Structure 1
Amino acid sequence: MGENKNGVLNQREMLYGERLGKMIRCETISSSFNQDLSKFYKFHEILEELFPNIHKTCEKHEFNGSLLFKWSGKGNGKPILFMSHQDVVEANGQWVHDPFGGEIVDGALWGRGTVDTKGSLFCFLQAVEELIEKGYVPECDVYLASSCTEEIGGEGAPLTVKWLQEQGVQLRFLMDEGGMIKEEPMKGVKGRFAMVGCLEKGYGDIRFTARGNGGHASVPQKQTPLTRLAAFMMDIEKHNPFTAKMNPTVAEMFRRMAPYTQGTLGTVMKYEKQLEPLLERLLPKINPLGAAMISTTLNFTMAKGADGLNVVPQEAYVTGNMRFIHHQGPKESLALVSKIAKKYEIETEPILIHEPCPVVDYKGKPFRLVEHVMKKMFPGVIVAPYAMTGGTDAKFYTPVCRNSIRFAPLEINEQQYQSIHGVNENININALPKAVDFYKQIVRHMEGWKE
């Protein structure tokens, strides 16, 4: 591609942008109802066109539209796995550019999935494609996974994990979506930070049901199913039943951010250990995101009452979405909520429960490897562990992996961060080459790794 460094970078940017653009132009919206796999098979054809070396060299497995490639290594060490999902959410609202146009405008590639998560999928596939082209053989087996059901919590990742279990695979570590490289990751924190997800909370969907006599709306009633549900929800909102407790991941995040944070927040971060009891009390009141990092949360999401506008329902329910922190898991958190619900004669029914995932030790080898490569590839970027408040496919991999690192080495700005599941999703194409090189370095650093 030429000797001029800037010229090479610019050529790579455009080449990668155009290649990722082909992936963006293939619409892969997943749906809980009537999942259409044909769009994903079309996407697979594009991947085969873009990454011929991977398809010729790697062992390929497909699970109802979800993909797994095995790139065999020359050694006997534990394998590693890179993963990013191929499905995307709907692209509603008014977009500046066609959400499935894959246009490159003003140095940015626009479209649904550029950030979440076809961008990172492209980068690790491109990294492996180029390594194979150069004749490189990895020290250990390298797996490349891409679910087509991440956005709907479907069977893609579980089926992949089931296959890995059947093969007796235990991963050294994996890397999935999660944190990225971002300037001012929290308000008042100045600097470029690589936010490496080390902690993923548990997950729960809960139905709360109230029953009563029902009747015609023209006859006034008290303590109806709906009014009891309303009182219950207000009680939860006013009197948070969950305990906030600082965890090592968030404490270390604060410690690393402290030198770059001015004012009171910086002082609190700097003296986090001494101020921990105060912080545990105040953080939930002043910062919702901070609260979510150190406690279980419950948000009410759906409701159903009568089928008619003039009917008092005999039965009504609301659903709640819970995210369980490690120190107060599903059993204890549900017991607290159920106790409050009983005051209002409301039944508590878990629909779906996932336990909190194993926490990645920021002092451990996998995290330190990511930190080492980041410092080498991205000078000036501060690496910090953080607690994820959302969920990823990595939660399904617990049976085969105890070190699930949730991080994609892509640099994004605030608008791009806000565009995830929103409008005008885009990524700067100059972020792609370094991300590709990051994954190459991770693979190469398996040489000489000792368990």
Structure 2
Amino acid sequence: MTGTWEAHPHARAVETLQALVRIPTVSHPDQLDPQAFEDLLVELERRFPLIHQRLEVTRVHTHGLLVHWPGASAARPVVLMAHLDVVPVEDGWTHPPFSGDLVDGSVWGRGTLDDKGCVVGICEAVEALLERDFVPAQDVWISLGCDEEVFGQGAPLAVAELVRRGVRPWLVVDEGGAVASEAFPGIGAPIGVVGVTEKGVTSLELSVEGSGGHASTPTRNGPTARLARAITRLDRAPLPARVPEPTVELFRRLAPHAPAPLRPVLANAGRLRPLLTRVLLAAGPETAAMARTTVAVTTLSGSPAINVIAANAKAGVNIRVMVGDTVAGVVEHVRCTIGDDQVRLEVVEAHEPSPLSPVDDDAFRLLESTIREVFPDAVPAPYVMMAATDARHFTTICERVYRFAPFRMTLAQRQSIHAADEHLGIEALLDGVDWYRRLIERLPA
């Protein structure tokens, strides 16, 4: 992009993102503020009048939207996805999390990256095309979920609505990958990573019962001690690591951009999987998570007072199940690793890894050619997405489900997702709008 961003044809997208960030549509597992979501829907209608006047807009679940834009053909419909809700905030923000402040060339606030940037990118692209009376080659559907962050019912109900209407998408694009810089040591080029699958999500609760009592008369191996031992055993026994096929293809594509000594290794990734597995594990947590099912203890609870022995100690365990592993196998690994019948294990939720979407396919080639067009310095490549998205529900009605947010993101930005100081660069946002627009314009007849 050259010149100032104010001269960009989609410059209004910046103010729109600021406006959406200022509406705190926070999802909690057991509650939300319905007024905030209603306010957001009103703001969307104000900012994108043509979408609401010319297209069919259907409310899904409590506050989700499903928008139908008829194209010249309905033979290969496309679904563009994003979600309206955000995770709660914590301390440590440089700029207030719901301020939408415009500082240092970025919009700051919760949801800029996850996922209101995509909401704005999609809607601004469609609004601009409607202003030109553009008709897409295929039907375009916009699915905006309202409870993605709490694994809610918005996306399943959107799928059910499409099934009811007899719609079987040819292509689905949701949040996920990005134009990622600093993704691999020694690779200078940004990587346009497109998630062709995502890990399954499984949550467990470990609990130990005891008699409790006064802290002055403790007994050995009480609930907290047994739970601590179980957690330590889990931490010391990670699941086996390996390189799945999408990661092999990712390395093959990175080979020409790697330092000379690494090029033959990456180019022959399929034959050198054990070596590459060790490289991924050594390169840091972001790459290590690409090589195995991960197990993270996330919540702990015990005694209600410092001078009371816990009668019940609990730990929440979040597991991201790698492609090739199963929920049943992972749960059995946890049970055997803990090796203590007094530690009760309850499966709170269980989702298997998503099916692999094709790479050698016209749909994926459309995505990667659009990435090259908008981000000419980037290397388009498939990868296994570590986090969960609403897209996993669409795999039941579509074989080509991809996860890509068309924004440049540094390592620091990727680490700010679900953390403090989330922000999206202005130029990155505007390039993202361009990407969605060009994708719609280039849909095949």
TM, length-normalised to structure 2: 0.92
- Structure 2: runs of 5+ lacking an equivalent: none
Determine if the alignment matches structure 1 residue 48 to structure 2 residue 56: no
CA distance in 2, matches of 1:46, 1:251: 43
Relative to 1, partners in 2 of residues 1:13 and 1:208: Cα closer, same or farther, differing over 3 Å?
A: same
The residue that corresponds to 2:308 in the other structure is 311
Does 2:405 align with 1:405? Answer: no
Q: Which amino acid aligns with 1:303?
A: L
Question: Would the aligned equivalents of 2:182 and 2:410 in 1 still touch at CA under 8 Å?
Answer: no
Which residue is 2:329 aligned to? 332
2:240 matches 1:247: no
- Deviation of 1:357 after TM superposition, in Å, equals 0.7
Match of residue 392 from structure 2? 395
Q: Does 1:140 align with 2:154?
A: no
1:90-105 map, 5 Å: 90-105=88-103
Q: 2:71–2:140: 8 Å Cα contact kept in structure 1?
A: yes
Contact map agreement 1:13 1:432 (CA 8 A) in 2: no
Is the 1:202–1:355 contact (alpha carbons within 8 Å) kept by the matching residues of 2?
A: yes
Q: Distance in 1 between matches of 2:93 and 2:284?
A: 30
Bigger mean CA deviation after superposition, 91-100 or 342-351: 91-100
Structure 1: 5+ residue stretches without partners: none
Matching residue's letter, 1:391: A
Pairwise CA RMSD: 2.4
Q: Deviation at 1:153?
A: 2.0
Moved more, 103-112 or 68-77: 103-112
Aligned to 2:185: 187
Secondary structure, aligned partner of 1:207: strand
In structure 1, what is the Cα distance between the partners aligned to 2:379 and 2:149? 30
Q: Residue 426 of structure 2 corresponds to which residue in structure 1? A: 429
State the Cα deviation string for residues 245-277 of structure 1 (Å, max 9, x = none). Answer: 221111111122223233765564344233212
Aligned to 2:197: 199
Q: Secondary structure at the match of 1:157?
A: helix
1:411 partner SS = strand
SS in 2 for 1:391: coil
Show the 5 A alignment for 1:227-376.
227-240=225-238, 242-262=239-259, 268-280=265-277, 283-284=280-281, 287-343=284-340, 345-376=342-373
With over 3 angstroms needed to count, the CA separation of the structure-2 counterparts of 1:228 and 1:27, relative to structure 1, is closer
Give the counterpart letter for 2:353 in structure 1.
P
Aligned residues: 444
Greater CA drift, 151-160 or 302-311? 302-311
Counterpart residue identity of residue 242, structure 2: K
Q: Tell me what 2:151 maps to.
A: 153
Letter in 2 for 1:321: N
Q: Separation in 2 of the partners of 1:214 and 1:153? A: 35
Greater CA deviation, 247-256 or 163-172?
Answer: 163-172
Q: What amino acid is the match of 1:192?
A: P
Paired position in structure 2 for 1:64:
62
Contact 1:16 1:429 in 2 (8 A): no
**Shift, 1:204, TM fit:** 0.6
**CA distance 1:10–1:414, shift in 2 (3 Å):** farther
For residues 307 and 103 of structure 2, the distance between their equivalents in structure 1, rounded to whole angstroms, comes to 53
Q: Tell me the CA shift for residue 84 of structure 1.
A: 1.1
8 Å contact from structure 1 (residues 182, 411) kept in 2? yes
CA separation of 1:50 and 1:286: change in aligned 2, threshold 3 A:
closer
CA distance in 2, matches of 1:392, 1:277: 29
Asked whether 1:84 is paired with 2:82, we answer yes
Change (3 A) 1:359 1:38: same
Deviations 1:76-130 (CA, angstroms, capped at 9, x unpaired)? 3131111111112234334443433333334322222222211121111111111
2:444 to 425, 431, 447: 447
8 Å contact from structure 2 (residues 204, 348) kept in 1 = yes
TM-fit CA distance, 1:52: 1.0
Are the structure 2 counterparts of residues 41 and 377 from structure 1 closer, same or farther at C-alpha, using a change threshold of 3 Å? same
SS in structure 2 at match of 1:298 = strand
- Does the CA-based 8 Å contact 1:338-1:347 persist in structure 2? no
Deviations 1:57-87 (A, max 9, x none): 1111112011111112231313111111111
1:26 aligns to what? Answer: 23
**1:6 Cα deviation from its structure 2 partner:** 4.4
Matched, 1:379 2:371: no
- Relative distance call for 1:101 and 1:305 in structure 2 (3 A) is closer
SS in 1 for 2:439: helix
CA distance in 2, matches of 1:307, 1:101: 36
Alpha-carbon deviation of 1:286?
Answer: 5.2
Read off the aligned partner of 2:44 and give its amino acid letter.
Answer: L
State the SS of the aligned residue for 2:356: coil
SS of the aligned residue for 1:141 comes to strand
One-letter amino acid matched to 1:378: F
How much has 1:440 moved relative to structure 2?
Answer: 2.2
| Shift in CA distance, 309/7, structure 1 to aligned 2, threshold 3 Å | closer
